[in-house]
Structure 1
Amino acid sequence: MNKLISFVTDSFHELRYKVTWPKYSELQSNSTLVLVASLIFALLIGAMDFVFDGFMNWFYESF
């Protein structure tokens, strides 16, 4: 039980005094960057899927 209490106390102390939390504006800009990058990545994967699907349909219909 003492180990659990020590773990919780040490974790709280580290989160409160040792972690550098980002400013709200930095957090907002990083979140926007992640959102835009995710959308671009999703569009690229969707385009590759569309092209591959068209190629596979053409390939199977040719036989």
Structure 2
Amino acid sequence: MTKVTNYLSEAFEELKSNVTWPAWAEVQKLTIVVAVFSILFALATWGVDEFFAKALAGFFNWLKA
């Protein structure tokens, strides 16, 4: 248990003294960029899924006929 406590205290000390944190404005800007790209990627994934679902449905309907 001492090792865990020591590890956590050293980790917090590292975060306080050695990490360079970005400015709040930069954090907000980059958060918006990540959100926009996440939405675009989700829409692209949905579009590809819909395309293949319709293509496979059409293929199997063609096989039935």
Deviations 1:14-47 (A, max 9, x none): 1111011111100001100000000000110111
CA–CA distance in structure 2, aligned partners of residues 10 and 23 of structure 1 = 24
Aligned residue in 1 for 2:34: 34
Given residue 24 of structure 2, which amino acid in structure 1 is its aligned partner? Y
* CA pair 20-62 structure 1, distance change in 2 beyond 3 A: same
Identity value in percent? 31
Listed as ranges, the gaps of 5+ residues in structure 1 are: none
CA–CA distance in structure 2, aligned partners of residues 4 and 43 of structure 1 = 43
Listed as ranges, the gaps of 5+ residues in structure 2 are: none
* CA pair 62-14 structure 1, distance change in 2 beyond 3 A: same
TM-score by length of 1: 0.86
Q: When the two structures are aligned, how many residues end up with a matched partner?
A: 62
Please, what is the CA RMSD of the aligned residues?
1.2
TM-score by length of 2: 0.84
